[in-house]
Structure 1
Amino acid sequence: MTLADQYSSDGCAISFELFPPKTPQGIDALCENVERLMQFRPKYFTCTYGAGGSSQRTTLDVLARVKEITKLPVASHLTCVGSTTEQLCDYLQKATDLGVDYIVALRGDPPKGSTEFTVTEGGLRYANELVGLIRARFDHLGIAVAGYPEVHQEAPDAKTDLDNLKRKVDAGSDIIITQLFYDNADFYRFRDDCVAAGINIPIVPGVLPVTNFKQAQRIAGMCKAAIPAGLAAEMGRDDSPEHQFRVGVEHAREQTIDLLENGVPGIHYYVLNKSDAAIELLDGLQLAGQA
């Protein structure tokens, strides 16, 4: 089954994003959470890696474990940061050898301490070039690319950002997974703009449950995602872990229900290697493949 085919059936296909833990104990805990998330019949799992490719080997190890546990397809993030074309191809070959099915192809953020992206000599400048490389040399891999409902922080305007997305799609992307957002209106506007621009591949919203307001502010600040005033006020009213968790999960559940009612083909959850919030917000909802 191709990556696009994951979104061709009735219902809402879901997937979960993980990141590579730093310790063996962390990997064991991650795998326990993956097993708990299997009750929602996800279509696949993705895994990021550290800035500049610092944890690429761990990412592949995590994906191999997840695939062994779940028997599901797995996807590795891949960025252009700090890598030559030869090194990118070497990683793609290692991923293929380990049974990775899909790639989330990204330009990548500048390394810590840098304010702008710098091309590695012999490397790639843009995500659409990475998509083209994968299509040319590793065409068996499914490709997801990133979309930005509130516009990429480096784009001068929404049109330029959309033009860049169209280049990635035209280079051979299978699906678009969006950056996190907290107001569904931003996603619907983005989806309409994509359709108007002739983008006709599945557009999958990315949702991050807010269970810690300070952490959410930091993450949202990094990607320029706005936190609605009402949500911010309610979470700021009480900083107890119980209150933060309840309010954040309820907001994500309301987001999910509204997205389901508005016909999204799937939802990608940024679960931060935990399962409690996802289990709480998805409990009882009708998703693809569930009764």
Structure 2
Amino acid sequence: MKVTEHIENANGKPLFSFEILPPLKGQNIQSIFDSIDPLMEFNPPFIDVTYHREEYEFKELPSGLLQKKIVKKRPGTVGICAGIQNKYDVDAIPHILCGGFTKEDTENLLIDLDFLGIDNVVALRGDALKNEIYFKPEKEGNQYASELVTQISNLNKGIYLDEELQNSSCTNFCIGVAGYPEKHMEAPSMDSDIHFLKQKIRNGATYIITQMFFDNKKFFDFVAKCRKEGITVPIIPGLKPIATKKQLNLIPHRFKVDLPDDLIMEVVRASDAEAVRQIGIEWCINQSKELMQAGIPVLHYYSMGKAENIKAIAKAVF
């Protein structure tokens, strides 16, 4: 079932969903199930599965040439999504990136997902690799998320890269895209960011899921700006509880997200690691309750493969 259909069928009742990371190479799918099992009591209609590009480093050979070596790889998102749908009978939503894929790679991936009965995808540009200053698209790949959305939308219309195909089947993907309540780190302004978000909707995206935020006012202002620009699709807030003091520095640096001063000082004054964890949980509970009172259709949590904090939040909210 499509995300938009889940929202319509809920008849105004807020839905719970979450996002998981693929396991590291060498781990099996049971590690994924172990992180999902504790959250199934809250009846998530769908679970997002992120995609991680291969990371690599260059090693100089005696000849002076550079050899590219893959140093980190996570198992395939397609197989994980199939495993989740088979075990839990919920919709698994793979993230699809521009980076690391040619357009032909993307088409083949989408065909596989369609064969498996996966109805939803999230189309993302993807981040630059650690050894890149700026994002570099794959040669013959999509450069922007809006182009990726167009390719998926074309498949929904039966338009494949090989224009000579006859009697081609139409896919039926519900396409999600990312939104940034505090603007994308590379966007020159919020207005330009929303301009390109609107373009992704025009190209065929049917819902938005946001980057994490810790101040609900940022989210409400973002939604208001989107509505003013004529964006009418559902906007799903992405939430994450602070879990460690290190995240006070890591999250703003990695995601370009502001943390409220009240939250920062509570964490700074915390006596130990467990106190920090509880502060993060309580803050996220309060965020969640306010969002629910505002009639937000879905609350989406970034679990990062760890269920304990998300379970504590969900118990207090749903």
Q: Percent identity?
A: 32
Relative to structure 1, the CA distance from residue 178 to residue 227 in structure 2 (aligned partners, 3 Å threshold; closer, same or farther) is same
**Per chain length, whose mean CA-contact separation is higher, i.e. which structure has more relative contact order (CA < 8 Å, sep 6+)?**
1
Q: How far is the alpha carbon of 1:5 from its aligned partner? A: 1.5
TM-fit CA distance, 1:67: 1.2
Q: 1:143 to 1:284 in 2, by over 3 A?
A: same
Q: CA deviation at 1:26?
A: 6.1
Other-structure match for 1:42: 44
Give the conservation status (yes or no) of the 8 Å contact 1:31–1:65.
Answer: no
Of the structure 1 ranges 73-82 and 15-24, higher mean CA displacement relative to structure 2 is found in: 15-24
Shift of the 235–156 alpha-carbon distance from structure 1 to 2, 3 Å rule, reads: same
Asked if 1:84 corresponds to 2:102, the answer is yes
**Radius of gyration: which is bigger?**
2
CA displacement, residues 253-272 of structure 1 (integer Å, 9 cap, x when unaligned): 00000100111111111011
Task: Answer yes or no: is 1:130 the counterpart of 2:132.
Answer: no
Match of 1:5 in 2: 5
Q: Answer whether contact 2:213 2:239 (CA < 8 A) is retained.
A: yes
Partner of 2:313, secondary structure, is helix
Partner residue, 1:109: 127
Aligned partner of residue 16 in structure 1, secondary structure: strand
Q: 1:76 touches 1:103 (CA, 8 Å); kept in 2?
A: yes
Cα distance in 2 for partners of 1:241, 1:27 equals: 29
Higher helix fraction (1 or 2): 1
Partner of 1:14: 16
Aligned-pair Cα RMSD in Å: 1.8
Q: TM-score, normalised by structure 2?
A: 0.85
**Which residue is 2:164 aligned to?**
none
Could you list the structure 1 runs, at least 4 aligned residues long, displaced by more than 3 angstroms after superposition: 23-27, 52-57
CA contact (8 A) 1:177 1:205 kept: yes
The AA in structure 2 aligned to 1:12 is: P
1:281 aligns with 2:281: no
Aligned to 2:138: 120
Q: Deviations over 1:122-165 (max 9, x none)?
A: 11111111111001114411111000000000000011000010
Q: Matched residues in 2 for 1:163 and 1:56: separation?
A: 34
- Aligned length in residues: 286
Q: 2:170 aligned with 1:168, yes or no?
A: no
Q: Return the alpha-carbon distance in structure 1 between the equivalents of residues 28 and 257 of structure 2.
A: 28
Comparing 104-113 and 215-224, the one that deviates more = 215-224
State the TM-score, normalizing by the size of structure 1.
Answer: 0.93
Does 188-197 or 43-52 show the bigger shift?
A: 43-52
Q: How far apart, CA to CA, are the structure 2 residues paired with 1:168 and 1:57? A: 28
The aligned residue for residue 166 of structure 2 is none
Q: Which runs of 5+ in 2 are unaligned?
A: 56-71, 157-170
Equivalent residue for 1:94, pick from 112, 116, 119: 112
- Output the amino acid matched with 1:237: R
Tell me, in whole angstroms, the C-alpha distance in 2 between the residues paired with 1:285 and 1:120: 42
Contact 1:149 1:187 in 2 (8 A): yes
Q: Which moved more, 1:7-16 or 1:179-188?
A: 7-16
Q: Which residue of 2 aligns with 1:272?
A: 304
Of 159, 176, 194, the match for 2:191:
159
Which of 202, 205, 218 is matched with 2:237 structurally?
205
- CA–CA separation in structure 1 for the residues paired with 2:73 and 2:103: 18
In the TM superposition, residue 239 of structure 1 has moved relative to its aligned partner by 5.8
**CA distance in structure 2 between the partners assigned to 1:62 and 1:212 by the alignment:** 28
